[in-house]
Amino acid sequence: MPSNVGTSGQAQPATSLAPPTEQRPPQRERQGSFGGSPRVKHLKPFNTANIKILLLENVNETAVKALRDQGYQVETHAKALSEDVLIEKIRDIHCIGIRSKTKLTKKILDAAEKLGVIGCFCIGTNQVDLEYASQKGIAVFNSPFSNSRSVAELVIAEIVLLSRQLGDRNIEMHQGIWSKVSANCYEIRGKTLGIVGYGHIGSQLSVLAESMGMRVRFHDVVPLMPLGTSKQVGSLHELLEISDFVSLHVPETEETKNMIGEHELNKMKQGSYLINASRGTVVQIPALAKALRSGHLGGAAVDVFPKEPAANGKFFESELIGCPNTLLTPHIGGSTEEAQSMIGIEVSQALIKFINNGTSIGAVNFPEVDLRAIRDEENSIRLCYTHANVPGVLRQITDILSEHNVDKQFSDSKGKIAYLMADISDVTPEQIQDIYHRVSNTPTNIVTRVLY
Ligand X SMILES: O=C(O)C(=O)COP(=O)(O)O
Q: Which residues are known to be catalytic?
A: 279, 308, 331
How do beta strands 272-276 and 117-120 pair? unpaired
Strand partners, 419: 386, 412
User: Minimum Å distance from CB 308 to ligand X?
Assistant: 9
How many residues lie near ligand X (CB under 6 A)?
10
HSE-up of residue 205 (Cα within 13 Å, Cβ side): 33
Site string for ligand X, 312-351 (x = CB under 6 A): -------------------x--xx----------------
Handedness of CA 183, 188, 193, 198 (dihedral sign): positive
User: 346 vs 423, which CB is nearer to ligand X?
Assistant: 346
User: Minimum Å distance from CB 68 to ligand NAI?
Assistant: 26
How many residues lie near ligand NAI (CB under 6 A)?
31
Closest residue by Cα to residue 287 from 321, 328, 241, 319: 319
Stretch of 18-26, 135-143, 182-190, 197-205 contacting ligand NAI, by CB under 6 A: 197-205
User: Minimum Å distance from CB 279 to ligand X?
Assistant: 7
- Give the DSSP H or E segment for 75: strand 73-76
User: Which residue pairs, CB below 8 angstroms and at least 24 apart, start in 63-69?
Assistant: 63/97, 63/119, 63/121, 63/343, 63/344, 63/345, 63/347, 63/348, 64/344, 66/344, 66/345, 66/348, 66/349, 66/352, 67/348, 67/351, 67/352
Q: Is 382 helix (H, G, I), strand (E, B) or coil?
A: strand
User: Minimum Å distance from CB 51 to ligand NAI?
Assistant: 28
Give the Cα separation of 142 and 152 in Å (integer).
19
Strand partners, 370: none
Footprint of ligand NAI on 289-328 (CB under 6 A): 303-304
* Residue pair 83/363 in contact by the 8 Å Cβ criterion: no
User: Minimum Å distance from CB 248 to ligand NAI?
Assistant: 8
The letter for the amino acid at 232 is Q
Stretch of 88-96, 117-125, 292-300, 311-319 contacting ligand X, by CB under 6 A: 117-125
Q: Is 200 in the site for ligand X (CB under 6 A)?
A: no
By a kind-dependent CB cut-off of 5 to 8 A, residue 79 interacts, out of ligand X, ligand NAI, none, with none
Q: Is 197 in the site for ligand NAI (CB under 6 A)?
A: yes
Footprint of ligand X on 139-168 (CB under 6 A): 147
Q: Is 123 in the site for ligand NAI (CB under 6 A)?
A: yes
User: Minimum Å distance from CB 352 to ligand NAI?
Assistant: 23
* 36-to-3, 30, 40, 191, 377 alpha-carbon distances in Å: 35, 13, 12, 62, 16
Give the Cα separation of 269 and 287 in Å (integer).
15
By a kind-dependent CB cut-off of 5 to 8 A, residue 99 interacts, out of ligand X, ligand NAI, none, with ligand X
User: Minimum Å distance from CB 220 to ligand NAI?
Assistant: 4
Q: Is 196 in the site for ligand NAI (CB under 6 A)?
A: yes
Give the Cα separation of 19 and 39 in Å (integer).
22
Footprint of ligand NAI on 411-430 (CB under 6 A): none
Burial class (CB in 10 A: 0-12, 13-18, 19+), 279: buried
Q: Is 124 in the site for ligand X (CB under 6 A)?
A: yes
User: Minimum Å distance from CB 152 to ligand NAI?
Assistant: 9
* Residue pair 24/15 in contact by the 8 Å Cβ criterion: no
Give the CA angle between residues 53, 30, 385 to the nearest 5°: 50
* Residue pair 62/341 in contact by the 8 Å Cβ criterion: yes
Q: Is 99 in the site for ligand NAI (CB under 6 A)?
A: no
User: 115 vs 364, which CB is nearer to ligand X?
Assistant: 364
User: 279 vs 404, which CB is nearer to ligand NAI?
Assistant: 279
Q: Is 100 in the site for ligand X (CB under 6 A)?
A: yes
Q: Is 217 in the site for ligand X (CB under 6 A)?
A: no
User: 200 vs 382, which CB is nearer to ligand NAI?
Assistant: 200
Burial 389-400 (b: 16+ CB within 10 A, else e): beeebeebbeeb
Give the Cα separation of 198 and 442 in Å (integer).
44
Q: Is 250 in the site for ligand NAI (CB under 6 A)?
A: yes
By a kind-dependent CB cut-off of 5 to 8 A, residue 278 interacts, out of ligand X, ligand NAI, none, with ligand NAI
Q: Is 194 in the site for ligand NAI (CB under 6 A)?
A: no
- Footprint on this chain of ligand NAI (rule: CB under 6 A): 123-124, 147-148, 151, 196-202, 219-222, 249-253, 255-256, 277-279, 303-304, 331, 333-334
- Footprint on this chain of ligand X (rule: CB under 6 A): 99-101, 122-124, 147, 331, 334-335
